[in-house]
Amino acid sequence: MTTIGSTPFQSIESTGADVATELPADERGPLTYLFDWFIKALSDADSACTKQGVFGLGLLLPLPALLTALCISFKVDGKITWQWSTIFVLVWIVDAACLVFCIRAIPSWPGATKATLSRTIAHLAINIGITMHHVFIALQLDGQITWGWIWVFFPFVVTTLPEHATLFTIVAWAQMVLLAPRLDAAVLWSWPVVFLPLELYAMGSLVSCVYYTPCSTERPPLTVAMASLTACTLLLVAPLGLLLARLEGCEFPTSRPLVPWFLLYGFLMLWGFVVALHKDADILYGAVFAARGMRAA
């Protein structure tokens, strides 16, 4: 088996929840592999100091997305005059790392199974499509190309949906289909109509937190339900509501819709370092990070 980064592992056992990875390292996508490594490192850490160190490394994972979103808001507000290709520099770094991972993960030994080969090639194709999608967005915003937005979004749709037809992927696909004609001024729908897929997804996530999380018998239902509701509100509902208000003409900085994300990030930072001191830290960490539905492909 090809080793990517560190010794691959076949399963992850998280205390308080049965969290298992069925796929070897070669058959996992780069972000899934990184997520699994993070969970295993937390589980294997034998001291509060080590857990805090691992958790601190984990907090670096969402930073490229957060900082890129912040730079985009500054660009829209005219606070910076960088080219869009410069604003996306962290995106290019992440895309390059994912592509290198996928290329290295393609098995080269004679005994590689057809399933392993097809899955690793599929991951490579998906990441190539996502990278092209990001490149086309930057070129379109910089005025280097003048395509219709549906063609800018096309690489993401055509490579991601057939292989990963998850609920979130379908929502993202539907959102791009509605957003493209609005950006091209082919339709004049209101922004709440344009963002209907994300609105339905956010409401569905809230309903899921309310009705399904309390059914858990492994952790205190009320605690998990409140944590899930808070995270869902800060991650989806509040930013989307603020974004729609901004697009509909409310006068406030474009960075304001990002405030809930940074609040959630700060809460996770404080929570993670404090929980590491608790005797049941593995269970409490698992309550947040062991949900397989939060994993990226």
Q: Supply the pLDDT for residue 214.
A: 54
Gap between the Cα atoms of 224 and 262, Å rounded: 21
DSSP string for 119-149? HHHHHHHHHHHHHHHHHHHHHHHTTS----H
Q: Supply the pLDDT for residue 107.
A: 75
Contacts (Cβ under 8 Å, ≥6 apart) of 5: 33, 37, 101
Handedness of CA 9, 43, 102, 121 (dihedral sign): positive
Q: Supply the pLDDT for residue 131.
A: 95
Residue whose structure tokens are 């304001």: 256
Contacts (Cβ under 8 Å, ≥6 apart) of 258: 66, 69, 70, 73, 239
Phi, psi (5° rounding) for residue 216?
A: -65, 135
Torsion of CA 193, 195, 200, 201, to 10 degrees: 170
DSSP single-letter state for residue 14: B
Beta carbons of 100 and 78 less than 8 angstroms apart: no
Gap between the Cα atoms of 214 and 217, Å rounded: 8
Give the pair of three-digit tokens for residue 280.
């049941």
Q: Supply the pLDDT for residue 59.
A: 85
pTM over 0.85: no
Enumerate residue ranges in the chain where pLDDT < 50: 1-22, 290-297
Q: Supply the pLDDT for residue 76.
A: 94
